Structure 1
């Protein structure tokens, strides 16, 4: 046996660097990382840790041209990138990309001559390419104001091209090869949606002020044919947990709604990392109620701004997003016409008190341990199952 993990909060992964020089052994919990390496031609089976695990410190590793590139949140809420040689102590590593209060570094991919950096600025994803030859960097222009993209595995090390999947609320999924040397592009595949023209739709990126003054982003899409001088039917989606981002994705199934005059909205509430790591920290554990209050504020803003009305507003969410919907329905049942909840997590206390369930212990970092009195009092204050009351609730589809 090479390795055994005894802490049930951690999962273990084995991978190889793109250069094929090293094998990486990654131990990950929701908030902590420990990654060890061994040369791919080393048969000893002895891995060396980049850095021993420190509670709350995450890091991710790639390799190119004699250096490990380490993306970490240690002393950097929105992450930074360090560079170190093999057998060097991470504390002695040089800073390759420094931390920022306004830019979140979500990931990196190392190639022979380039490093691609995936950043988020004011909630919008950006692709930055750094040349290994001169250390100069450039940002790719996606030609839209509100969009998302996801890099493919891009397993070839010695290449000038990076492949991504691009989409927006109105642009179907498009696979693009980008030449990192000159940013020329080649579309390899585009999702085919019959009789669909993206020019017939409008996207917006607006902000709602929450209870504590935070500006909460909202992504919107609707048909150009709707009358914006009156309230319209609106479906608002939310999640807000685990630091997951709710990116503006394209959904062909939403087109029929748009064509029938429905506005679709995504509330980028705290608990996700849409506006950086601090956005996540402000919506978990003893800050969890910010998630629900943000969502309510988004709904109120959309009504006040004339996009919709209480009688036209439907909300939806799944899993942890189902907890969100359950909580806001208990808090403001008067604000919505209806709700669609998918596999909702609504019995928070009983679930989190049962440590025999396979996911419970690992979830303590997200919701808290109700065996602790402070967490119990806070969690039972929003747990949907425990806060159902006699009220005029809107229609609910589960």
Structure 2
């Protein structure tokens, strides 16, 4: 094979002029190879298709790696002068984090469980104490020690047997979310590799303390396809298949009800779902279908001791709660418990013996409602800030009247409270400690509403340091996601202070595609209405410019994964609105990925984006897919990040996107691609390593703003 600089990369003959803020270096130019895609009588040449070869283990695998390394060398050279500043930012952000810390202990089945971190250590120790917080500490897992020698290490899915003597946990040391399962005997300390690979990283115990259920993934597509039953001490090859999902658009999983009575298998996509269940005391039973899947109906089952509650969107766009007898679970027996409301989205239930707590969303804000099961009385938990997030947190016990919840806003650090549901007494258990003297009074948060082109009001949450001038000259970073019904709420970030303290404002556009304003908000931002997501974000940016929070010379946009798709779409649609774009692990090659069922998770996504085998879906997708719509025109400054082992959005999507942008863009702005060669979708696994990526993102924007300290 020829050397890369002779074959793969033809370095530009004359140096491309860059802004004086950046050095005058030659950017890599990727080789082109003809590859024709033909579907629905539409022929498209994809000259960078060969970049899939590392993923496919095909002939050009080494060329792909060489290209990514060349891009890494380029961004490192372009950002070389920011190294001292990045190091300063890293140390500054790290200094705000309390290194020696401990989570709020959670009580379950006679033990208090918690994790703690130590000074200078990247990971954590998972511990418990029996009966009392003054009891001796038992370290169940020392993940700091386990992770030694690994570039990436994730331990998760800690599950304790009912008799408290054994623990199952999962380990991923590659960063593709393919976990191996291990058993630890808590009486002897011995850890055993169960030989169970390619799982989601967790297992569910039956009440006999020897049977577990786990989810198995397809090794290529990474789809969750099968549920197995394993009996400890037996060969894995004898594990019993208890469920296999035939619908490739569904995700599946297995768990145990909070009251410990049922093992439940859930299968669902974004539009329909199905639940199966057995008695947790009878693990060898055949799973029974709760209610056969129904077209366009989602349902989630909450077992109580005397009935089932079901959260469903059947005849209820914003979801409602119904009840049904333990022995009559079919839809014909469902009776309304909390009726549907047009202005309130029902998101879930936290169940207790004497109370229920409903998680809801109204006017774009999350809320918690306490329901007394005996009296039927309801109580809304109230909060004063204009934009905030509240959510249940750490409630594994069924037989308790104490309810824990988390609270945060853009100026309030994450806090955990415990409220006695009977007396109403509320106690702050812990507030995230921000070292260095953080004072929330120095910062301000607002909730704004931009008007979309179709008249829809788009909420915007914004935070800045007091003194921020709304004269059109201040820098602002606008963030959004806008897919899968995931709501991006107003939360606190200690790392963000490094941005705010240097004069930036940070804003979240709560665009359609999430569920901030109810289920219709999601329905209006998916499939054949996906472009609403992009135009909402543009409208939010234009509103902030109009109101002089910033200007196009100082406006930046950031998105990750599906939010990276958003970034790719908005730079094609409105490139002149932004000075800089940060597109992280971006889903930008929509058509090609959705046409290839061998790519992980593709078929699971049909209900979100559409199936390109359908002509209308194909052409609509093609009309907005960032990679398909790059043109010969000016683009803003762009920083793109990806991971070679990304299982959610494969590395070749951003790599192809950057290569095509380099070829067609007509501006002199900077385009950088950073590939983590050892990581995947979530980046580094250590609790401090991610700060280096954040420092790079901030340094990129600061360099464009000529902020150097």
Q: TM-score range by the shorter chain?
A: over 0.9
Which sits farther off after the overlay, 111-120 or 221-230? Answer: 221-230
Number of residue equivalences = 398
**CA shift at 1:153, angstroms?**
4.2
Contact 1:347-1:384 at 8 Å conserved across structures: yes
Once residues 322 and 382 of structure 2 are traced to their aligned partners in structure 1, the CA distance between those partners, rounded to angstroms, is 26
Of 176, 182, 185, which residue of structure 1 is paired with 2:417? 176
Contact 2:470-2:550 at 8 Å conserved across structures: no
**CA shift at 1:10, angstroms?**
2.3
Once residues 361 and 17 of structure 1 are traced to their aligned partners in structure 2, the CA distance between those partners, rounded to angstroms, is 29
Alignment of structure 1 residues 40-55 onto 2, 5 Å:
40-55=280-295
- Which residue of 2 is the match for residue 147 of structure 1? 388
- Which residue of 1 is the match for residue 368 of structure 2? 127
Contact 2:471-2:550 at 8 Å conserved across structures: no
1:386 alignment partner, SS class? coil
Structure 1 residues not aligned, in runs of 5+: none
- Which residue of 2 is the match for residue 331 of structure 1? 573
Once residues 327 and 230 of structure 1 are traced to their aligned partners in structure 2, the CA distance between those partners, rounded to angstroms, is 25
In the superposition, the TM-score normalised over structure 1's length comes to: 0.97
1:81 alignment partner, SS class? strand
Structure 2 residues not aligned, in runs of 5+: 1-239, 641-709
**CA shift at 1:395, angstroms?**
0.5
**CA shift at 1:231, angstroms?**
3.8
Contact 2:366-2:391 at 8 Å conserved across structures: no
Contact 1:241-1:272 at 8 Å conserved across structures: yes
**CA shift at 1:196, angstroms?**
0.6
- Which residue of 1 is the match for residue 164 of structure 2? none
Deviations 1:141-169 (A, max 9, x none): 13322111232241101111111221111
**CA shift at 1:230, angstroms?**
4.8
Tell me if 1:190 matches 2:431. yes
Of 129, 132, 156, which residue of structure 1 is paired with 2:397? 156
Of 365, 369, 373, which residue of structure 1 is paired with 2:607? 365
Deviations 1:349-388 (A, max 9, x none): 1111111112111111110111211111111111101111
Contact 2:411-2:463 at 8 Å conserved across structures: yes
1:376 alignment partner, SS class? helix
Deviations 1:249-295 (A, max 9, x none): 21111111111111100000001111111111101010000000000
Contact 1:140-1:183 at 8 Å conserved across structures: no
Tell me if 1:253 matches 2:495. yes
Deviations 1:94-137 (A, max 9, x none): 21101111000011111100000000001000000000010110
Tell me if 1:106 matches 2:106. no
Contact 1:38-1:46 at 8 Å conserved across structures: yes
Of 344, 354, 357, which residue of structure 2 is paired with 1:116? 357
1:222 alignment partner, SS class? strand
Once residues 283 and 610 of structure 2 are traced to their aligned partners in structure 1, the CA distance between those partners, rounded to angstroms, is 42
Alignment of structure 1 residues 1-398 onto 2, 5 Å:
1=240, 2-88=242-328, 89-194=330-435, 195-398=437-640
**CA shift at 1:185, angstroms?**
1.5
Once residues 379 and 297 of structure 2 are traced to their aligned partners in structure 1, the CA distance between those partners, rounded to angstroms, is 29
1:252 alignment partner, SS class? coil
1:290 alignment partner, SS class? helix
Contact 2:359-2:391 at 8 Å conserved across structures: no
Root-mean-square deviation (CA, aligned residues, Å) is 1.3
In the superposition, the TM-score normalised over structure 2's length comes to: 0.55
Once residues 424 and 542 of structure 2 are traced to their aligned partners in structure 1, the CA distance between those partners, rounded to angstroms, is 42
